[in-house]
Structure 1
Amino acid sequence: MKKMYLIITSMILMFSIKSNAQIVKAEIRATGLTCSMCSNAINKQLKSMEEVVAVETDLNTNTFTVTLKEGNDLSPKVFKEKVEKAGFFIGSLLLTAKPETITKSSYILVNDKKSNALEIQFQVVDKGYVTEKEFKKLSKSYKNVETYASNNEEDFHIKMIN
C-alpha cells in the first residue's frame, strides 16, 4: 500500500512540475532581414505554432515578441528551427519563463545570478542563438563551463537577466 501511495504521489508531482515549467514569452532578434517580406516569413512560421497566442514585430530592431499559451512545454530549439525554416538566423533569444523551467537538466546556468521572482528572464547563449561574433566572445568567457564548447543541441546554456 505504501509503494502504491509513493508511486501516485510521485506521478502527481511530476505532472504538476511539468505543467508549471513553461516559457511565457520569447523575444527573438533575427539577423539577415532586409525587407518587410522577410519579417512576414518569420511571423508566419512563429504563428504556425499552436502554443503561440500573439506575435508582435518591431521592424526597426528585427525583434519578434512571441506570447505563448499557458502550460506549454516548448524549448528554445523550436524558435531556432522556426526562424531558420523562414530562411534567417537568431541574433539573440531572450526568454521569460516560470523559475521551474530552468530546473530541467537541459538548462545550464552560466552565471551566478539568482532570482526569486514569479517569472524570470534569461538569454540563451549557445551557438545559433547569438551572432557568430558574440558566440566567439562568449566561448572565451565560458571556457570553464565544460559543456559550452560541445555544442550539444539538447543543452541550453543560459545567462540570467533578472
Structure 2
Amino acid sequence: MKKINKVYVLLASVVLMFSMKSNAQIVKAEIRATGLTCSMCSNAINKQLKALPEVTNVETDLNTNTFTVTLKEGNELSPKTFKEKVEKAGFFIGSLIITAKSETVSKSPYIIVNDKKNDATEVQFQVVDKGYVTEKEFKKLSKSYKDIATYVANSEDDFHIKILN
C-alpha cells in the first residue's frame, strides 16, 4: 500500500513540473526599429528574427518600421534576444511591446514599474529599459523611475516593464 502512494506522489510531482514550465512564455513581440532607411534594412532585421527557431511568423510594416513576431508555444525567450537580433542586423529598438502569459511577468527578471493590474491569461507590456526605447524616451523615463533602484542600476539582466492592458 505504501509503495502505491509513493508512485502517485511521484507521478503528481512530474505532472506539476511540466505544467508549470509551459506557462512562462512570450506569445508575440512587436518591435519598432530605428535607423531603417529602405526595404533592404528591414530585410536584414527580418532575416535575423526568422533565424530564431522559436519564431513561427514575422510580419513587417514598412510604414512604421514595426516587426510583429509570433512565437511557438513553450518558448523561453527573453526581451534580450530580440534586442540582440535587431542590433546584429545593424539597427536599434525604438519600442518593444510584448504579449506574454500572465505568469511570465510575475517572475524575475521582470520588474513592473506601474501599478496596473491584469487578471487576463495574457498580458501586454512595454520594456522600458535602455536599449528598448529611444534615447530621448529613456531620458524621460529615467526621471520618472529615479526612485526604482534597479532601474537606475541599468542591469541588462533585469527587464523593467510597463503593463499596457
Matching residue of 1:150: 153
Matched, 1:97 2:115: no
**Structure showing greater Rg:** 2
Q: State the identity as a percent.
A: 77
Matching residue of 1:30: 33
Aligned equivalents of 1:154, 1:4: Cα separation in 2: 39
* Equivalent residue for 2:144, pick from 141, 144, 151: 141
Letter in 2 for 1:67: T
- Aligned residue pairs total 162
Structure 1 spans left out of the alignment, 5+ residues: none
Aligned equivalents of 1:11, 1:141: Cα separation in 2: 44
Aligned equivalents of 1:107, 1:62: Cα separation in 2: 26
Matching residue of 2:126: 123
Matched, 1:132 2:135: yes
Matching residue of 1:64: 67
Letter in 2 for 1:54: N
Q: Which is worse superposed, 32-41 or 2-11?
A: 2-11
Q: Check whether the contact 1:17–1:100 (CA below 8 A) recurs between aligned residues.
A: no
Letter in 2 for 1:59: L
Aligned equivalents of 1:81, 1:117: Cα separation in 2: 29
Aligned equivalents of 2:144, 2:16: Cα separation in 1: 37
C-alpha deviations, 1:47-94, integer Å up to 9, x for none?
000000000000000000000001111100000000000000000000
Deviation at 1:25, TM superposition (A): 0.3
Q: Check whether the contact 1:98–1:118 (CA below 8 A) recurs between aligned residues.
A: yes
Q: Which stretches of structure 1, 4 residues or more, deviate above 6 A after TM superposition?
A: 1-8
Deviation at 1:12, TM superposition (A): 4.5
Aligned equivalents of 1:151, 1:8: Cα separation in 2: 43
* SS of residue matched to 2:149: coil
Aligned equivalents of 2:116, 2:28: Cα separation in 1: 20
CA RMSD of aligned residues (A): 1.8
Deviation at 1:8, TM superposition (A): 6.9
